[in-house]
Amino acid sequence: MTKKMEKLLDSLIVPPGKKIDLRNDYDPGHTGHFMSKGEVKKTMAADIHLLSLQQDKLYAQDTYALLILFQAMDAAGKDSTIKHVMSGVNPQGVQVTSFKVPSVEELDHDYLWRNCVALPRRGDIGIFNRSYYEEVLVVRVHPEYLDRQHIPPDLKDQDLWNRRFDEINNFEKYLTDNGIIILKFFLYVSKEEQKKRFLERVEEPDKNWKFSAADIHERVHFEDYMDAYEELFNHTSTPYAPWYIIPADHKWFTRLTVVSAIHQTLDRLHLAYPEMTHEQEEALLKAKEDMVNEGRNPGKGRKPMKKESGKNS
Ligand code: AMP
Ligand code: MG
């Protein structure tokens, strides 16, 4: 990875412990030192290939797990980013979980429950398309949703949001302390670009299926969501699980930075294929010898057939 790219990725991280101003400090249209999609095509292809090699080692090593979490407003490109970035990896080692409006069963549990059961096992990459962060986003913008959560009345006070930030930080600390590496991406799309993409969904027949009247309705609360996002970044970007604010008005730039950040994170783990112990090496050599000699001495090693005795004699 070039120094320039490293610097660019660093600039997208929300500095832990510092207060940011989302609207002033970050720009959804930013493309770093790149000018166009064509310019990054080769780098992107190389990064996707590198990611597949890293995943192979992650899987073989069976020690770390990688949890990649995506949050964004509608039409910011979560689904297509996941599709592109993961296009080279072995499907056996990746699970994508999309968190929707919680079911009756899910609402009967604490809010982290459904996330816990979807965590990646060691060696795997788990992708959360939305996550427990909805609990301090959509639920904060629509506090009436709390009524469905069966929370004891005396715990439904103004301090609930701060407690949730603490709970989330503690949960993420617990995960990283157990070898589950966490990457959190917010795809930052502008309100104008969102409108353009919604209109495409209406006007282009092969995008009609993506259109949802509910999404248009939610757009009314765009600024409330930005406030809720800013607040959560200021509370939950930590040294062990930092937030990346990924500019999302240009999809090619979103994909490039996401794949590079994943690649950089895996690189820091110094992944390697497991080393064989002396006994394992011996067993391998023995297995090879057995296979090479297979069929050479047909009689050798076979038990002689027992003569049936007694019956017909
Ligand atoms: P989509 O990702 O477009 O399929 O939409 C999923 C919907 O589920 C979004 O409107 C989210 O806000 C909503 N959702 C996800 N998690 C929660 C949650 N914990 N509580 C309430 N709504 C949620
Ligand atoms: Mg949607």
CA distances from 11 to 5, 243, 244, 262 (A): 10, 11, 9, 15
Is residue 308's pLDDT more than 80? Answer: no
Index of the ligand 1 atom closest to the CA of residue 135: 19
Evaluate: CB of 13 within 6 angstroms of ligand 1: no
Helix orientation angle between 251-267 and 3-12, rounded to the nearest 10 degrees: 100
Rounded to the nearest 5 percent, the helix, strand and coil shares of the chain are 55, 10, 35
Pairing of strands 180-188, 125-129: unpaired
Residues 6+ apart with CB under 8 A from 201: 75, 207, 208, 210, 211
Per residue in 161-208, pLDDT tens? 999 999 999 999 999 999 999 999 999 999 999 999 999 999 999 999
* 301 or 133, which is more confident: 133
Distance CA 212, CA 217 (A): 9
User: Residue 313's pLDDT is what?
Assistant: 43
Per residue in 86-137, pLDDT tens? 999 999 999 999 999 999 999 999 999 999 999 999 999 999 999 999 999 9
Give nearest CA residue, ligand 1 atom 3: 74
Evaluate: CB of 252 within 6 angstroms of ligand 1: no
Q: Is the dihedral of CA 138, 140, 141, 147 positive or negative?
A: positive
Is residue 304's pLDDT more than 80? Answer: no
Residues 6+ apart with CB under 8 A from 205: none
Evaluate: CB of 221 within 6 angstroms of ligand 1: no
Is residue 312's pLDDT more than 80? Answer: no
Q: Report the 10 Å Cβ neighbour count for 155.
A: 10
Index of the ligand 1 atom closest to the CA of residue 98: 2
Mean pLDDT of all residues in the chain?
94
Evaluate: CB of 130 within 6 angstroms of ligand 1: yes
Rank 177-186, 210-219, 273-282 by mean pLDDT and report only the highest: 177-186
Residue with the two structure tokens 């019956």: 311
Evaluate: CB of 76 within 6 angstroms of ligand 1: no
The pair of three-digit structure tokens given for residue 31, joined into one six-digit string = 């493309």
Query: Once rounded to an integer, what is the mean pLDDT over residues 63-78?
Result: 98
Index of the ligand 1 atom closest to the CA of residue 131: 16
- 305 pLDDT band (50/70/90 cuts)? low
User: Residue 295's pLDDT is what?
Assistant: 84
Ligand 1 centroid to residue 73 C-alpha, Å: 10
User: Residue 298's pLDDT is what?
Assistant: 63
Nearest 5°: CA angle at 171, between 166 and 174? 125
Evaluate: CB of 145 within 6 angstroms of ligand 1: yes
Evaluate: CB of 164 within 6 angstroms of ligand 1: no
| Biggest CA pair distance of the chain | 101
Per residue in 240-250, pLDDT tens? 999 999 999 99
With pLDDT > 70 as the criterion, what percentage of the chain qualifies?
A: 95
Q: Which residues crowd ion ligand 2, with CB under 5 Å?
A: 74
Segment among 41-55, 238-252, 265-279, 290-304 with least mean pLDDT? 290-304
Give nearest CA residue, ligand 1 atom 22: 101
User: Residue 300's pLDDT is what?
Assistant: 59
Per residue in 7-47, pLDDT tens? 999 999 999 999 999 999 999 999 999 999 999 999 999 99
Evaluate: CB of 122 within 6 angstroms of ligand 1: no
- 1 pLDDT band (50/70/90 cuts)? confident
User: Residue 218's pLDDT is what?
Assistant: 94
Residues 6+ apart with CB under 8 A from 169: 235, 236, 238, 241
